[in-house]
Structure 1
Amino acid sequence: MIKKLPNNHEIAQLLEHIASLLELQDANTFRVQAYRSGANQVREAQVEIAELALSDKQTLLDMPHIGERLTNLIIEYAKTGKSRILQRLEGEVHPDELFESVPGIGPELADRIVEELDIKTLEELEQAVYDGRLAKVEGFGEKRLETVRLSLAGKMRQPFRRMDPTTSMPGHRTGPDRPSVELLLRIDEEYRTKAKNKQLKRIAPRRFNPENRAWLPILHTDLEGWSFTALFSNTVRAHELQKVKDWVVIYYEKDQHEGQATVVTETRGKMEGKRVVRGREQESMEMETIS
């Protein structure tokens, strides 16, 4: 059965819905307007935007009010019928769905990764590739591991990561492709403080929320050129370990770079009791030492 592509009206509605949610959640007005302008451009287009997205990405990129961010969103929507940005704004992003976006990882393997490794972000998945944990998950041979490694390198805008011979781990990534640990921890502190003081808009996630109660605080903020969205983790694992109000998931985007990180309270070692960025514990420790 051939999957029906979304038409221009449906794509425009999606962009308008995202803009409305951002506005309700007190996001930057320029960010809200970008989605509204994109919706208007799609609505007025004389070609089918979904077909263009899948056949001629560059032409879509060059259209007024579209750009890299909206192009990637439209491509994802045309291929899957879903939008991770919309799911994020509704508090519905699940780690297994994120991992399924990586070539070589299907639904069953994605579930296994989340269950066995307790990881939730692409950065943590990349770390698991290099430290050997992913190789221990059933279903991952050398060929599949290499496919995942190369795919993650592309997604994280890092074509090659040199191995640190003293630690057998990849060296710190440099460049503008992700925020510093210091910046992520600042966002984490702002989010938790404002959530505690009831200064944030609250959303009603569908997952684990049979009463449809608006309990999940959400933060949108812009710092050092990055756009951030932060919210407590609403995953199965967070609920099982009673860490919902401790684990903070931070989504970030800037120019063509986007990703996510999770900040938690460390429970062992030298950083016990301190806030650390999962997958970047060494950098968190170094920052703590400097401060």
Structure 2
Amino acid sequence: MSNEEIAARLEEVADLLELDPEANRFRVAAYRKAAGGTLRPLSEPVSEILRRAGRRGLEELYGIDAGLAGSIEDLVQTGHLGLLDRLREQADPEQVFATPPGVGPVPVTRIHRELGVETLPELERAA
């Protein structure tokens, strides 16, 4: 899994967490910082860091704490992130689609109803 793919998944976690008005804004910011500020500009593949230095190697990166390091390690090893899977299941599809800029409630309802699309990745594939 590439650094870009990992970053995209972490950003999706942040997007889905943000839909909850009670979400911890610092947690949302941590996922965004890890994705955009740390992983995307990183020249070394995360998988190589894990191979060379394990989870501790990830924790040495700016903005990556033990919890995020564990999530990233799971993502690299399994291709899945449990938190992301749970958030996707809990999210209201129309609320999820309302997050892309410029998409209002009428197009979102129509996309969901006519295409049966329930997640942003499904929307990307349908586009």
Into which bin does the TM-score normalised by the smaller protein fall?
Answer: 0.5 to 0.7
Shift of the alpha carbon at 1:31? 0.9
Structure 2 gaps of 5+ residues are: 94-112, 119-127
TM-score of the superposed pair, with normalisation by structure 2: 0.66
Q: Any idea what the Cα deviations from partners look like across 1:128-163, whole Å, max 9, x if unmatched?
A: xxxxxxxxxxxxxxxxxxxxxxxxxxxxxxxxxxxx
Match of 1:44 in 2: 41
Distance of 1:15 and 1:87 partners within structure 2: 12
Decide whether aligned partners of structure 1 residues 54 and 89 sit closer, same or farther in structure 2, where only a CA change above 3 A counts.
farther
Q: Amino acid of the residue matched to residue 58 of structure 1?
A: R
1:33 aligns with 2:29: yes
Q: Amino acid of the residue matched to residue 23 of structure 1?
A: E
Structure 1 gaps of 5+ residues are: 1-5, 93-201, 205-210, 215-291
Q: Which runs of 4+ in 1 moved over 3 A?
A: none
Match of 1:106 in 2: none
How many correspondences in the alignment?
94
Match of 1:81 in 2: 79
Bigger fraction of residues in strand: 1
Match of 2:100 in 1: none
Structure showing greater relative contact order (alpha-carbon pairs closer than 8 Å, 6 or more residues apart): 2
1:24 paired residue among 11, 19, 30: 19
Distance of 1:16 and 1:48 partners within structure 2: 18
In terms of Rg, which structure is larger?
1
Identity of aligned residues (%): 33
Match of 1:53 in 2: 50
Bigger fraction of residues in helix: 2
TM-score of the superposed pair, with normalisation by structure 1: 0.30
Q: Any idea what the Cα deviations from partners look like across 1:93-146, whole Å, max 9, x if unmatched?
A: xxxxxxxxxxxxxxxxxxxxxxxxxxxxxxxxxxxxxxxxxxxxxxxxxxxxxx
Shift of the alpha carbon at 1:74? 1.0
